[in-house]
Amino acid sequence: MDSKQYAEYIDKHGPRTNEWLTLLTAFGVGGLICMIGQAFSDVYKAVLPEAPKAMIGSLTSATMIFLGAFLTGVGIYDKIGSVAGAGSIIPITGFANSIASPAMEFRKEGIVFGLMAKMFVIAGPVIVTGIVSSVTVGFIYWVVAMIAA
């Protein structure tokens, strides 16, 4: 058997993800996290009726980030993630988890070379992509505005 035939065997007989099940749980848990976020947003709106919309958004994001980091700290978020997959990775709570978990893991190597140096090993690509795309979009916006003027 050569490696090509072996790859075909693995493809045919190898364990497969039950896509419908993982999609549904990801959708369910992801949706639930968003509903919790929406609930916080509604509560803040009710409590602070004078506050601008941006402030309500920032307060909601901060609360969800806190919750994500807190649940990571008490060892619950990884259990949610093992069932929900992308459903708990994509929301902002997942972003908090991706920063809090390496911070906890690498704390043993010290504050500077452990925690601080490795805090963004998972979230780093997200931050880089965010910055690069915002600069790119900003540049395009600026060029379009110049041409329009």
Q: Name the residues that contact other proteins, by CB under 8 A.
A: 1, 3, 6-7, 9-10, 13-18, 22, 72-73, 75, 77-86, 88-89, 94, 97-98, 100-102, 104-106, 108, 122
Of residues 15 and 49, the one with the C-beta less far from other proteins: 15
For tokens 């009726």, the residue is 49
C-alpha gyration radius of the chain: 21
Helices of type H across the chain:
3-13, 19-47, 53-73, 77-84, 86-89, 92-105, 117-118, 124-148
State in angstroms the smallest separation of the CB of 41 from other proteins: 23
Distance of CA 67 to the CA centre of its chain: 13
Of residues 43 and 104, the one with the C-beta less far from other proteins: 104
State in angstroms the smallest separation of the CB of 16 from other proteins: 6
